[in-house]
Amino acid sequence: MEKAKAALDKKAPYGEDIDLSEYGKDVPDYGADPNLSQLSAEEKGHVLEVGIDVAKTDRTGSFFLKGHSPVHCTVAQDGVELMPITEALEKYDGLEKYWWKAVDVGADKYTAQAEMALHSGFFLRVKAGTKACFPVQACLYLNEEGISQNLHNLVIAEEGAEVHIITGCTTAPHLKKGLHIGVTEVYVEKGAVVTSTMLHNWGEEVIVRPRTSVWVEADGTYMSNYVCLKPALSVQMYPSVRLKGENAVARLNTILVASKGAVLDVGGKVSLEATGAKAEIISRTITTGGKIISRGMLIGQVPNIKAHLECSGLILSDEGRIHAIPELDGWVSGVEMSHEAAVGKISQEEIEYLMSRGLTEQEATALIVRGFLNVKMEGLPAELQKEIEKMISENEAAFL
């Protein structure tokens, strides 16, 4: 609490500084809506675009946060626990072993605000040896104009557990302005596998400040897919993964598109702290007029670790800008780390090659861009893959 208080005005090292007092509006309590029947058809379609299936077909668990109210939370498998974070804090005496351990509460004004004025979030624990049959979905829905959401999520995969979390963050169809602060702490215990797919679809003036940290113990695997293809005003996030146990693995994939006016400062950091650890960070970014800062950092602290970082950016408009900052930090000999970064336009040679097969310049460009964004994301449910492909096709006009 003291630490949070001290950090309330602390600027974040990256990203534009936001005046939090602008987003102080009161938000109604929506009560419970177990079947999500209060959502309009338009809203249901909208959340489906970020992977949230209201019908919950093929979902092990489902959590829905509307404004500040966790209106819906269900779980359909033994060994999987899902509840609003406030409930979990009460039930488990403050979750001391995990609460603010991976993420530093005093990191910046956003973590501080999440502590001082916590609204909600979800708690997910998968018990030892339990493999969730289907993904668990969490929808963080910003539905009131000009509000802030201060959230704190906690994910624990106990020894040998496996789970895929789909987090869909989106705003109500016509909402413009809002602030989303989301602290997420993920604990991947021995031999556990956590896949996190996060889809963002924000309003045009929404500020987004996720703060995610992940700890992975021996033989554990953490895979993250972050997809943001729709406009947002300002996103700044730099999730960090610590591979603490031997042979722990992390794989972070990011695909994002920045349209005019957007500033996306997004990256991933993996610290390899035990022998046999492996990491891969891949980001594919496109600007059609916005600014992208694509960060990536690998820290090799011990010998016999292997890690690779790939940042590729396509600039499709002269107004756009991509600043790729790949960093490698090796502390000892015996680390094997590499990176490749490329920023530029689509190669004319590739376009003309496809044109020689009879495609128009536009058709060729669309195919190349689609290929560029086609990052292999493991464990993605087919319908989610389709949604992502659909988003890419919808974007096509902006690519030409």
Nearest to 254 by CA among 269, 242, 273, 243: 269
Between 275 and 362, whose beta carbon lies closer to another protein?
Answer: 362
Longest dimension (CA), the chain: 67
**Nearest distance from C-beta of residue 393 to another protein, angstroms:** 13
222, 189 Cβ separation under 8 angstroms: no
- What is the CA angle 385-391-397, rounded to 5? 140
Between 42 and 378, whose beta carbon lies closer to another protein?
Answer: 378
Instruction: Tell me the three state secondary structure of residue 163.
Output: strand
41 contact partners, CB below 8 Å, separation of at least 6: none
Between 341 and 355, whose beta carbon lies closer to another protein?
Answer: 355
CA distance 64 to 218: 32
Tokens of 1: 């609490």
Between 338 and 360, whose beta carbon lies closer to another protein?
Answer: 360
Tokens of 223: 């895979």
**Nearest distance from C-beta of residue 275 to another protein, angstroms:** 30
CA distance 176 to 107: 28
93 contact partners, CB below 8 Å, separation of at least 6: none
Between 159 and 350, whose beta carbon lies closer to another protein?
Answer: 350
**Nearest distance from C-beta of residue 351 to another protein, angstroms:** 9
Tokens of 302: 């011990």
**Nearest distance from C-beta of residue 374 to another protein, angstroms:** 4
**Nearest distance from C-beta of residue 370 to another protein, angstroms:** 7
Binding site for another protein (CB under 8 A): 347-350, 352-361, 363-364, 367-368, 370-375
CA distance 386 to 169: 18
**Nearest distance from C-beta of residue 22 to another protein, angstroms:** 40
311, 326 Cβ separation under 8 angstroms: yes
**Nearest distance from C-beta of residue 354 to another protein, angstroms:** 7
Between 88 and 373, whose beta carbon lies closer to another protein?
Answer: 373
Between 206 and 364, whose beta carbon lies closer to another protein?
Answer: 364
